[in-house]
């Protein structure tokens, strides 16, 4: 039973008004390994996968810049000894079953040769994947807030929804990641999660809950999220980054990222000036042993090609 008086980072973030924008950890490629758990604090390292196979996986992921997560169906129910892995990247999503650890060497081959024609043992996957962080050993808020969201989403998209290990930004739990788009949504409850995912899949991003998109670094995410809020509703991928450059630091604050964007309905394009500002120190996760500052992003706008 949880302690009602214990510190909870997600509740504290809501009280402080921590901004979601620009908080998605960057990753262009994802390797998802079905694993029923239990998950240790470092879920991948503590997965029990053969050390040689795991070393090959992590080395290949490092070469490709891929992020490895453990996934499981909501409720941890698995009807088969065979599990699945997914490789999600700019070239599409592929999946295969694995029963023994050595079967995961096919995932190593797929990581090392992303241009390989999809086929057995890795078959193409057309539908999106919906990840909900429920990694309670890493952070209590992720389990307490994430599991109800995963269960609610699974009622509508049972084949697409997976609980997953730590995705980053514990204080924004519940966190939902839509792949292959790489859009992070945070601080949703079961009702708003269903509505937000339904809108996303129908082609309308709800910027109220949007943390960012993993394809971009945080300040560029802030510009793109700001464009969705300012010019939306717009479809996933509708706002595109033309160019970004860094200036600063200036005015006693951090650096400024100048981001040129192409936005549907804005023929001349728009320019976002994203100022990085340090927030006061705070306990940012349930397990943190000291307070640390977070970064927030202040966005101002002008037409592309206009100074200011």
Dump pLDDT digits (tens) for 248-260: 776 556 789 999 9
Q: Which of 176, 184, 183 is nearest to 156 (CA)?
A: 176
What 3-state class would DSSP assign to 13? helix
Tokens of 144: 């307490």
Q: What is the CA radius of gyration of the chain?
A: 20
Distance of CA 40 to the CA centre of its chain: 20
Cα–Cα dist 264/275, whole Å = 24
C-beta of residue 59 within 8 angstroms of C-beta of residue 112: no
Dist CA 244 CA 297 (whole Å): 15
CA dihedral in degrees (84, 132, 219, 210; nearest 10)? 130
Residue 252 corresponds to which tokens in the numbers above? 């006693």
Query: In the structure, what pLDDT confidence band is assigned to residue 307 with cuts at 50, 70 and 90?
Result: very low
Going by C-beta distance under 8 Å and a sequence separation of 6 or more, which residues neighbour residue 142? Answer: 133, 134, 135, 136, 166, 170, 173, 174, 175
Bridge partners for 297 per DSSP: 276
Residue with tokens 């129910």: 77
Tokens describing residue 278: 């340090």
pLDDT per position as a tens digit, 9-57: 999 999 999 999 999 999 999 999 999 989 999 999 999 999 999 999 9
The answer to whether the CB of 167 falls within 8 A of the CB of 134 is no
Give the fold, CATH level 3, of 1-216. Answer: Glutaredoxin (3.40.30)
Distance of alpha carbon 238 from alpha carbon 62, whole angstroms: 30
Residue 115 confidence class, pLDDT cut points 50, 70, 90: low
> What does the pLDDT look like over 255-279, one tens digit per residue?
899 999 999 999 888 999 999 999 9
pLDDT number for residue 119: 59
The set of residues, in sequence order, having a beta carbon less than 8 Å from that of 80 and lying 6+ positions away, is none
Tell me, rounded to whole angstroms, the distance of Cα 296 from its chain centroid.
18
Tell me the mean pLDDT in the region 122-131.
91
Q: What is the pTM of this model?
A: 0.93
CA 49 from chain centre, in angstroms, equals 24
Q: Which residue has the higher pLDDT, 186 or 120?
A: 186
* Domain boundaries of the chain, sorted by first residue: 1-216
């Amino acid at each position: 039973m949880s302690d009602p008086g214990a510190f909870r980072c997600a509740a504290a973030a809501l009280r402080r008004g921590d901004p979601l924008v620009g908080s998605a950890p960057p990753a262009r490629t994802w390797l998802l390994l079905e694993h029923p758990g239990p998950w240790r604090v470092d879920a991948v390292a503590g997965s029990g996968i053969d050390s040689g196979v795991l070393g090959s996986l992590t080395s290949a992921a490092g070469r490709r810049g891929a992020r490895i997560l453990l996934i499981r169906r909501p409720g941890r129910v698995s009807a088969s000894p065979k599990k699945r892995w997914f490789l999600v990247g700019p070239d599409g999503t592929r999946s295969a079953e694995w029963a023994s650890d050595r079967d995961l060497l096919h995932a190593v081959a797929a990581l090392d040769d992303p241009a390989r024609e999809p086929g057995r043992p890795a078959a193409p996957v057309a539908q999106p994947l919906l990840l909900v962080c429920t990694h309670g050993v890493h952070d209590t808020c992720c389990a307490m807030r994430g599991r109800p969201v995963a269960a609610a989403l699974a009622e509508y998209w049972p084949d697409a929804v997976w609980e997953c290990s730590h995705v980053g930004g514990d204080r924004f739990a519940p966190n939902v990641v839509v792949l292959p788009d790489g859009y992070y949504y945070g601080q949703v409850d079961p009702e708003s999660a269903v509505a937000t995912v339904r809108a996303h899949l129908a082609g309308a991003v709800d910027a109220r809950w949007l943390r960012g998109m993993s394809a971009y670094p945080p300040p560029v995410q802030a510009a793109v999220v700001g464009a969705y809020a300012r010019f939306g509703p717009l479809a996933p991928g509708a706002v595109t980054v033309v160019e970004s450059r860094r200036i600063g630091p200036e005015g006693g604050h951090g650096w400024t990222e100048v981001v040129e964007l192409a936005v549907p309905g804005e023929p001349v394009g728009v320019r976002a000036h994203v100022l990085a500002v340090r927030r006061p120190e705070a306990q940012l996760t349930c397990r943190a042993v000291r307070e640390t500052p977070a970064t927030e992003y202040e966005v101002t706008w002008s037409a592309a090609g206009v100074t200011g």
